[in-house]
Amino acid sequence: MLSFILRRLLSLLPVLFAVVTINFFLIRLMPGGPFTNEKSFPEEAIERLNQHYGLDLPLHVQYFRYLGNLLRGDLGPSLRYSNRTVNAIIAKGFPVSLELGVLALVFALIIGVSAGIWASLHPNRPGDYIPMGLAMTGICLPSFVIGPLLILGLALGLGWFNASGWNTISDRVLPAITLGSGYAAYIARLTRGSMLEVLPQDYIRTARAKGLPSWQVILRHALHNAILPVVSFLGPAVAGLITGSFVVETIFHIPGLGKMFVMAASNRDYTLLLGLVVFYATLVVIFNMLVDMLIAIIDPRTRKHIS
C-alpha cells in the first residue's frame, strides 16, 4: 500500500506538468487580455500594469517564471482582484465548494443506493421501472435545467427555500439536490446492476436459509460486494462534484471556487484561471488515489493489483 501511494504521488508530477504547460499556453492564446476591457484605463496605465505583472516579458520567460513560483507553492497574484493572491482566493472559496460537494455526494449516495436496492428487489416490475425511469431522467436533465426548475417550484412557487445565497442551512438544500441528482441516477443504476448479479449467488441463498432477516441479508451480505462498482465510481464522482459545480454555484450565487472559475475565464485572469486548473487537477488525482485505497480495504482480492 505504501509503495502504491508513493507511485501515485510520483505520477502526479508529470500530470501536473502537462496540465500546467498545456493550459498556460492555451490561456495566453485567448483573445484580449486581463486589462483590455478596462475602458477607463489609458494605454500608459495598461502598459504599466503589464510591466508590473510581467506580462510584457516573452512568453517562454513568463512560463518558466510561473513554474519556479509553482514549485514554491506560489500560484501568483490575481490580475483582476487587487491585493489578493490566488492562494488566498482558493483558501476562501474551496471550503464552500467542498461543503457543497460533500452534501451533494451524501444526497447522491442515499438516494442512489436506496433506489438501486429497491429496484433490484423488484426486477421487471413497477418497483423497478419507476426508480430506474427517474434515474434516466436525472441522467438526461443537466444541472442548468434542474436548478431553475427547483428554484421555480420550491423557492418562488412554494416559498420553502431561498432562490439564492449561502447563509442558512436551508440554502444548502436546492444546490445539493441540483448537483447530486445526476450522480444519484448513475449510482442507482450501478447499484441495481450489481445487486442483480449478487442476489442469485450461493452465499446469499445460504444466508437466507439460515433464517437471517432480509435486511441483514441485503445490507450485510449482498451490499458488501455489490457496493464495489459504486465505490469505484466515487473517484470521478467526487472530483466531478467538487470541480463540476461551476453552473450550480453560478445559478444559486454561491461564493465558491466554481463561480470564481467562471469569473476568471470571463475576466481573462490568467493566474487565477491557471491556478484553479492546477488545484482541481491535483484534487482529481488525490481523490482517485483515495478511492483505490478504499477499494483495496473493502475487497482484499484487489490488493495484489496495487502492491
DSSP assignment of 14-78 equals HHHHHHHHHHHHHHHTSSS-TTTT-TTS-HHHHHHHHHHTTTTS-HHHHHHHHHHHHHTT---B-
What are the extents of the domains in the chain?
Answer: 86-305
The CATH number of domain 86-305, selected from 1.10.3720.10, 3.40.50.720, 3.90.226.10, 1.10.10.10: 1.10.3720.10
pLDDT at 204 over 60: yes
Buried-exposed string 116-127: b where 16+ CB fall within 10 A, e elsewhere: bbbbbbeeeeee
Structure-block grid coordinates of residue 84: 489578493
Q: How confident is the model over 207-219, as a mean pLDDT?
A: 78
Half-sphere exposure of 97 (CA within 13 A, CB side): 29
pLDDT at residue number 73: 84
The mean of the pLDDT values for the chain is 80
pLDDT band at 244 (very low <50, low <70, confident <90, very high): low
Among all chains, which residue has been given the C-alpha cell 438526461? 140
70-116 pLDDT, tens per residue?
888 888 888 777 778 888 888 888 888 888 888 988 998 899 888 88
pLDDT at 168 over 80: yes
Percent of the chain with pLDDT over 90: 1
Cα torsion angle, 160, 161, 162, 163, sign: negative
Q: How confident is the model over 223-247, as a mean pLDDT?
A: 75
Nearest 5°: the CA angle 74, 75, 81 is 120
The CA radius of gyration of the chain, in Å to the nearest whole number, is 24
pLDDT at residue number 303: 54
pLDDT at 3 over 80: no
15-66 pLDDT, tens per residue?
888 888 888 888 877 776 666 665 556 667 767 777 777 777 788 888 888 8
| Collapsed DSSP state (helix, strand, coil) of residue 85 | strand
